Amino acid sequence: MRAVAGSAAPRLDCYNARQATGRDHNKIGDTMFRQLLTPVAGSLGWSFLVALFPVVTVLLLLGALRRPAWQAALAGLAVAFAVAVIGWDMPVALALEASVNGAVFAVWPVMWIVVNALLLYNVAVRSGRCDAFRRWILTHLPNDRRIVLVVIGFCFGALLEGISGFGTPVAITSSLLIMVGFPAIEALVFVLIFNTAPVAFGALGAPVTVLGAVTGLPAATLAAMIGRQLPIMALILPFYVMALYGGARSVARLWPVLLVAGGSFACAQFLASNFIDYTLTDVLSSLGSLIVTIGFLRLWRPAPDPHFAISRAALGAAAAGAATIDAADLGGHKQELEATPAEIAPWQGWLPWVIVSAVVIVWSSFKIPKLGQQDIPWPGLHKAISITLYGDKPYAAIWSFQPLGTGTAILLAAVITAAVVRLSPGAFIACIGATIRQIWIAVVTVMLIVALAYLMNYSGLAYTLGLGAASTGRWFLLFSPFLGWVAVFLSGSDTSGNALFGNLQVVAAKQLGLNPVLFAATNSSGGVMGKMISPQNIATGVSVTKLQGREGEILARTFLHSIVLTVVLAVLVVVTQYLLPGIIPSAAPSP
């Protein structure tokens, strides 16, 4: 990989290699720090490799050495700090401010959403509604763990992603799968792989909205393009995961329901993103897939297979009046149930999830999160750095504090659920305590990993990585999805990944004579494939299981699948650009 200037690779118009190399030019005036892009021997190739050190550190500690996620994130942050200050000449004060800014963002809004979603889950457990949900599954679905994996892991998990995101679908759906007999690590791995197709439209389309803002392309056009890429992946996913879990024989026996689940989600995702409203894409596609798949299973059922039959021993114990729920469901802390499970109708297992869906949709429709929103310029960091890659554009650092954000809506849903199921105040407080015990390590981990992401962004390390990928000529077609992949691996958020590299994708595409709409959309679609290996996502997922500290084992089992699916997307991008350019929606830049 060579520096842009003087090479066969395209020169980005907004980038001046000489100005971004020498250390005598890394300040504008007396106050603004100017990001360096090629500080290592003036070489983009060497600078790219050094900028990878923090990412490689996290991957090695998690995947190879199997260290807990918080340790890997802390080590990655330490390496990034050293590289940023020593190699990229970032002032120590700015490096500290960037890291703290990221940690605060991790707490609010990210983990505020996660904490309240897990509180809702604990309310469901304590009130017996999780056990009722399990009995609903056993009553209304075939006695086959493979079917439950598709309905709960894929369809129901997509609904939770559309409502909350940030790892909560992984935590909740994996717990539900564990309750019907899945080993904890298998449940987490399969749910993480499933938690890809809905991510680009999660949180009511926030990633697409941000992508439109940073690229100057209409968000609706970008949503339409993403909605022509991800449905193909959604159609593949049920078959892919089933092949992993049950082998080729299971795929052959279950292909009708796999086709219905993936196909209904894909069709609804395409229609909603292209012709209805992209902000409702996840809600409509997941609900549509859930309803259609369950309806189809009323008409068609697979032949019984004892190997995948669900054990009814736990259900029998609950029906006999067992007063506790297994510690695995509450992170090692047993709690007394408020009611005997047999007294609760199975349909009530849906109550917590119906209530939270309704509250969040209404909350967002009436734009309640905007009420009382405070946009706070981060002291010492806001516009104190210029983005060299984008023509010395001042780097904004605004923390948007929304006291009535999505996390607060989920908290309200938890309170409403507790009232509807008549949970006592003491039991509700006990649920809060259980939630804190489950989630505190995940909170620390996410604070560290998001601090790492922010430090890499503000120091210029991330832009060096992006420039390196964009300077590979026609190979950029294959590298493009991996830009989004890296960004989401670090931040755990497709929204953040789009904010970081979305515009770079457009600039590089224009220089190469490629379609900017396709590559902006690919940044988001590629990002969702990095979601399954994000330490943030994994740490949240293990918070309600006995797998805390084994995040590296989970990453090792999902890493290859993340690469494979990203490569599939890259091939799809090449086919779209050169063989099927007609499916790319056209758009003029928005004013």
Closest to 462 in 3D by CA, of 10, 36, 22, 20: 36
Residue 304: asked if its preceding bond is cis (omega within 30°), the reply is no
pLDDT above 80: residue 327:
no
pLDDT range class, residue 312, cuts 50, 70, 90? low
* 385 φ, ψ (degrees, to nearest 5): -130, 140
Identify the pLDDT of residue 335. 47
pLDDT range class, residue 44, cuts 50, 70, 90? very high
Mean pLDDT of the chain: 85
| pLDDT, greater one: 10 or 371 | 371
CB 44 within 8 A of CB 4: yes
pLDDT above 90: residue 22:
no
pLDDT above 70: residue 2:
no
- pLDDT of 524-572, one tens digit each? 999 999 999 988 888 888 887 778 788 888 999 999 999 999 999 999 9
- pLDDT of 544-554, one tens digit each? 777 878 888 89
Structure tokens at 366: 């009436």
- pLDDT of 436-455, one tens digit each? 998 898 899 889 988 988 89
The two beta strands, 385-387 and 393-394, are antiparallel
- pLDDT of 367-409, one tens digit each? 898 899 999 999 999 999 998 888 888 988 998 899 998 889 9
Separation of alpha carbons 567 and 233, rounded Å: 12
Name residue 253's amino acid.
Answer: R
Name residue 387's amino acid.
Answer: I
* 32 φ, ψ (degrees, to nearest 5): -90, 125
Separation of alpha carbons 180 and 320, rounded Å: 17
Q: Which of 3-7, 288-292, 412-416 has the lowest mean pLDDT?
A: 3-7
> Which of 372-378's residues contact partners 24+ apart within 8 Å by CB, and which partners?
372/402, 372/403, 372/404, 373/400, 373/401, 373/402, 373/403, 373/404, 374/400, 374/401, 375/399, 375/400, 375/401, 376/400, 376/401, 378/97, 378/101
> Which of 308-312's residues contact partners 24+ apart within 8 Å by CB, and which partners?
308/144, 308/145, 308/146, 308/246, 308/250, 309/143, 309/144, 309/145, 310/137, 310/138, 310/143, 310/144, 310/145, 310/148, 310/180, 310/181, 311/181, 312/138
* 401 φ, ψ (degrees, to nearest 5): -95, 115
With residue 94 as reference, give the H or E element that holds it: helix 92-105
Which residues is 4 bridged to in the sheet? none
With residue 400 as reference, give the H or E element that holds it: strand 398-401
CA angle 142, 305, 146 (to 5 degrees): 55
pLDDT above 50: residue 3:
no
CB 469 within 8 A of CB 451: no
Identify the pLDDT of residue 23. 55
pLDDT above 50: residue 308:
yes
Separation of alpha carbons 309 and 307, rounded Å: 6
| pLDDT, greater one: 47 or 209 | 47
pLDDT above 90: residue 148:
yes
pLDDT range class, residue 29, cuts 50, 70, 90? low
Name residue 281's amino acid.
Answer: T
Structure tokens at 158: 């997509």
The whole-angstrom distance between residue 141's C-alpha and the CA centroid of its chain comes to: 28
Report the percentage of the chain scoring pLDDT > 70.
88
pLDDT above 80: residue 500:
no
Within 10 angstroms of residue 270's Cβ, the number of other Cβ atoms is 20
- pLDDT of 245-299, one tens digit each? 999 999 999 999 999 999 999 999 999 999 988 888 888 899 999 999 999 999 9
pLDDT above 50: residue 329:
no
Phi-psi region of 196 (alpha: psi -120 to 50; beta: other; left: phi over 0): alpha
CA angle 172, 178, 182 (to 5 degrees): 135
pLDDT above 80: residue 311:
no
Global pTM exceeds 0.85: no
pLDDT above 60: residue 193:
yes
Q: Where are the alpha helices (DSSP H) in 142-279?
A: 145-148, 157-163, 168-179, 184-194, 202-215, 219-271
Query: How many CA atoms within 13 Å lie on the side-chain side of 448?
Result: 22
CA angle 505, 218, 510 (to 5 degrees): 30
- The number of helices, as runs of H, and strands, as runs of E, in the chain is 23, 6
